[in-house]
Amino acid sequence: MQSLRGSLSNIPHTFNNIIQILPVLSRNELNNPVVNSSNSSLSDAADSDKSQAIPSSLITEQWQLILGQNASIDDLESAILRCKELVLGTDECSFERKWLVRHLVELRFRRNELKDILDDPNTKSSDNVTHVVLGHHFTRNLKHTPTSRQFCDHCSGIIWSVVQASYICTDCSFRVHHKCVQFVVRICAHVIASERNGAIEDICPEVGLAIQGYKCAECEVSLNYNVPGVINCFGSQRRTESRWIEPRRCDYTGLYYCPTCHWNDTTIIPARIVHNWDFSQQKVSRASFQELNLIFERPIIDLESRNPKLYIFVQNLSLIHKLRENLNHMRKYLNECRFAASNKLVEGSVGLKRYLVQSTKLYSISDLSSIDSGVLVDYLNKVYHTFDKHIRSCDICTGKGYLCEICSNNEVIFPYDDAAVHCTQCSTIFHRACWIRKSNKCPKCIRIEGRKLKVVEEEIDGIE
């Protein structure tokens, strides 16, 4: 009887502890974007709609634009037409227009996918279905790599590929659990890179936690340096524990993120390279890391307009600039040569980096890194010697060379020769020594000016 009475006396303490635990649990559930897969379909749909982040000015159109997974082709067609009308009615480059364009792409993709499924019943397999969420095109991740761990980009949990289904974005390589697909809040890095049309030009444009409302820039979880939480177990014992949500700054965007959205990945920052020629590794968020990986090989940096003084202080950069000018002249000869075209000389030598021989302005992040290490200089020198060997040995290319009319030498010269110089007015090629001896005056331009003066004098004489 005494033990029963003692057990009953502890019941009030038990209820008090449960009441004190509930607020802590509710805060943890709010801070954790990943919920249990056993939630009702109604809450799943609400969270999925919330992840769409529809602009407040378009709330009244939400029922026409946000469609469920059971939408028919007719529903999607009407939503596409309404989305087109709203796109034309919004301001250019506004947040509303960007959101509508992204959503329009998703609606069209869903419509085409639904048509394919109706036309071909074999495509109804779950392995072939593509889930479109915030610009991501998620497909089943069937490649299992037991030697390396894979983590979910949404909840940062381990993806156990043997027992857990997972998806991967075909555009930005965003990996996610099957249960986390509908709760993704990060816009596809491919969409962001396309809309930005280039890398951020400022070095770490930090705005501060206060401007962010002390929330993560991506998932909007509260960022706190020290949040005390009281944990009471059943009984009278109590202990105080501190929860730590570390704000992590992204050096690329200057924004603060939570540890779930910022894994301390390191990479080189384009703005630091352009302004300071600094290739040090900096910590960036997962979204920035994926975006920088996408644009790593894209020629999007115009050094001549953004920082022309770099050509003075970086020796390899000025050398690369001269090599690209020469290769651009060579390309014009090779494009008109049928032997070079049949042998695919240009494609075989430069491959996907054909822009290096087409202009001298644009560089990719990969190119700038290769310039700093000296790899690109060696690579372009090999291409230069390959092109030069063909041009001087080919009858078609040699026939399009120049003879210096100042010295009347029979030596064939080309615009890319170091000992040659071209007139900026008529593009005629001369020996540099002959050009200097003539006081930088082009004899061809002098003849043209003389003819013009003679024609004018004859016209004046005819009028008189």
pLDDT of residue 263: 93
* 135 pLDDT above the threshold of 50: yes
Among 174, 199, 200, 177, CA closest to 187: 174
365 domain-assigned: yes
Separation CA 8–CA 30 (nearest Å): 34
Number of separate domains in the chain: 4
Does one domain contain both 431 and 312? no
pLDDT of residue 299: 93
CA angle 416, 420, 424 (to 5 degrees): 85
The angle, 0 to 180 degrees and rounded to 10, between the axes of the packed helices 315-335 and 375-393 is: 30
Between 49 and 422, the higher pLDDT residue: 422
Domain boundary residue, one of 193, 225, 255: 193
Task: Give percent of the chain with pLDDT exceeding 70.
Answer: 76
Predicted local distance difference test score (pLDDT) of residue 83: 82
**Residue 69 — very low, low, confident or very high, per pLDDT cuts 50/70/90?**
low
Segment (H or E) for 241: strand 238-245
CA distances from 328 to 94, 337, 381 (A): 39, 15, 13
Claim to verify: residue 268 and residue 389 sit in the same structural domain: no
Mean pLDDT, to the nearest integer, of 202-224? 89
Give pLDDT tens digits for 166-193: 888 988 889 888 888 888 989 899 888 8
Residues 165 and 200 in one domain: no
The reply to whether 5 falls in a domain is: no
Same-domain check for residues 104 and 252: no
Residue among 61, 12, 294 at smallest CA distance from 173: 294
Same domain assignment for residues 407 and 379: no
For residue 158, the model assigns a pLDDT of: 85
Calpha distance 320→152 (Å, rounded): 41
pLDDT above 90 for 142: no
**Of 135, 161, 193, which residue is a domain's last?**
193
Please tell me the least confidently modeled range out of 32-36, 71-75, 109-113: 32-36
- Least confident among 52-61, 251-260, 313-322, 397-406: 52-61
pLDDT digits (tens, 9 = 90+) for 54-66: 676 666 666 566 6
Compute the half-sphere exposure of residue 289: CA atoms within 13 Å on the CB side of its CA. 19
**Shortest CA distance to 185 belongs to which of 39, 52, 30?**
52
H or E, element range at 432: helix 432-437
DSSP codes of every residue in 90-159: SPTT-HHHHHHHHHHHHHHHHHHHHHHHHH-GGGGSTTT--EEETTEEEEE-----TTS--B-TTT--B-
* Pair 204, 289 in one domain: yes
Mean pLDDT of 347-371: 91
Question: What are φ and ψ of residue 301, in 5° steps?
Answer: -105, 120
> Comparing 252-266, 351-365, 393-407, which segment has the lowest mean pLDDT?
393-407
Angle between helical axes of 286-294 and 189-196 (0-180°, round to 10): 60
| Contacts with 224 (C-beta within 8 Å, 6 or more apart), sequence order | 214, 243, 245
For residue 297, what pLDDT band results from cuts at 50, 70 and 90?
very high
Q: Is residue 387 part of a domain?
A: yes
pLDDT for 27: 36
Per residue in 8-27, pLDDT (tens digit) is 344 344 334 433 333 333 33
Mean pLDDT of 116-136: 65
For every residue of 5-66, DSSP letters joined together read HHHHHTHHHHHHHHHHHHHHHHHHHHH-----TTS-HHHHHHHHHHHT---GGGGGGHHHH-
Residues 44 and 176 in one domain: yes
Segment 216-266, tens digit of pLDDT: 999 888 887 654 454 444 444 444 444 568 899 999 999 999 999 999 999
Residue 150 lies in a domain: yes
| Residue 120 and residue 235 share a domain | no
- Do 98 and 113 belong together in one domain? yes
DSSP helix/strand/coil, 440: coil
Residue at 4 is within a domain = no
In this structure, what CATH number is given to the domain that contains residue 21?
3.30.60.20
Q: By C-alpha distance, which of 242, 330, 252 is closest to 284?
A: 252
What is the amino acid identity at position 112? Answer: N
Domain range for 454 = 403-463
Q: Where are the beta strands (DSSP E) in 419-458?
A: 420-422, 429-431
Question: Cα dihedral sign for 411, 417, 419, 424?
Answer: positive
Q: Of 143, 177, 193, at which residue does a domain stop? A: 193
Q: Is residue 6 part of a domain?
A: no
Is position 41 within any domain? Answer: yes
pTM of the full structure: 0.68
The identity of residue 77, as a single letter, is E
Neighbours of 300 (CB within 10 A): 16
Q: Are residues 274 and 152 in the same domain?
A: no
Spatial distance between the Cα atoms of 177 and 411, rounded to a whole number of angstroms: 69
CATH code assigned at 268: 3.30.40
Residue 3 lies in a domain: no
What's the mean per-residue pLDDT of the chain?
Answer: 78
Taking Cα atoms as reference points, which of 253, 254, 283, 252 lies closest to residue 266? 283
Is the same domain home to 209 and 256?
Answer: yes
Looking at the structure, do residues 179 and 233 belong to the same domain, yes or no?
no
